[in-house]
Amino acid sequence: GIQVEQSPPDLILQEGANSTLRCNFSDSVNNLQWFHQNPWGQLINLFYIPSGTKQNGRLSATTVATERYSLLYISSSQTTDSGVYFCAVDEDSSYKLIFGSGTRLLVRP
Amino acid sequence: EAQVTQNPRYLITVTGKKLTVTCSQNMNHEYMSWYRQDPGLGLRQIYYSMNVEVTDKGDVPEGYKVSRKEKRNFPLILESPSPNQTSLYFCASSFNFFTDTQYFGPGTRLTVL
């Protein structure tokens, strides 16, 4: 099956810093999403981005489908950005999302 | 407000006592799915539904049942819960699985003693 690898596994930032999270996937995909799981466990959808670039406030994402990777950019980080960021993709011929193991982000004040 | 709701949000129960976790979406989505999240194992799909009366197994369906009698609702049924079903459960929905955003519910923390 498709493999989804996220890096780095852990990241500690000072408030105001910028960061880039990476997601590599081993096969072509139709669906790629980024999620933020907050400290209360809720999964918040950030981007649906199987290709191209999108921006939403301080967050942006780029997926280069031909090279099988996606990047999530967080600028001017805030303490509320803390949590785990997941990349998830679909697996060919199945109706399920395959999640990466996540990047755990801690933003310190 | 467009949303996926789950109830209950938290539940502590005992082995063997049947329970149902409800999931409802108000976005007229055709696709719905259940996942469980466990430390070290990540999120795994339990069941999914492509439309009313159409359901299929995911990766970890054992011990669970689902039904899709109405488009908006997709309940998860545990007929005889066991401690290994202690987990964080998420319901998700979308118009089209391959081309649209999947929206996740707030999660249900289930503990089976």
Q: What is the pLDDT at residue B112?
A: 97
Token code pair at residue A65: 């489908």
B98 and A90 within 8 Å at the Cβ level: the answer is yes
Q: What is the pLDDT at residue A91?
A: 84
DSSP A79: G
pLDDT at B91 over 90: yes
pLDDT at B39 over 80: yes
Q: What is the pLDDT of residues A5-56, one digit of tens each?
A: 999 999 999 999 999 999 999 999 989 999 999 988 999 999 999 999 999 9
Distance (Å, rounded) from C-alpha B94 to C-alpha B48?
Answer: 11
Q: What is the pLDDT of residues A62-91, one digit of tens each?
A: 999 999 999 999 999 999 999 999 999 998
Q: What is the pLDDT at residue B2?
A: 82
State the nearest Cα–Cα gap between B40 and chain A, in angstroms.
9
Q: Where are the alpha helices (DSSP H) in B5-97?
A: none
Token code pair at residue B110: 């289930």
Distance (Å, rounded) from C-alpha B21 to C-alpha B32?
Answer: 14
Mean pLDDT, chain A, as a whole number? 95
pLDDT at B97 over 90: no
Q: What is the pLDDT at residue B98?
A: 84
A48 and B56 within 8 Å at the Cβ level: the answer is no
pLDDT at A93 over 80: no
Residue with tokens 């005889």: B80
Nearest to A23 by CA among A102, A107, A106: A102
Q: Tell me which chain A residue has its CA closest to the CA of residue B87.
A: A41
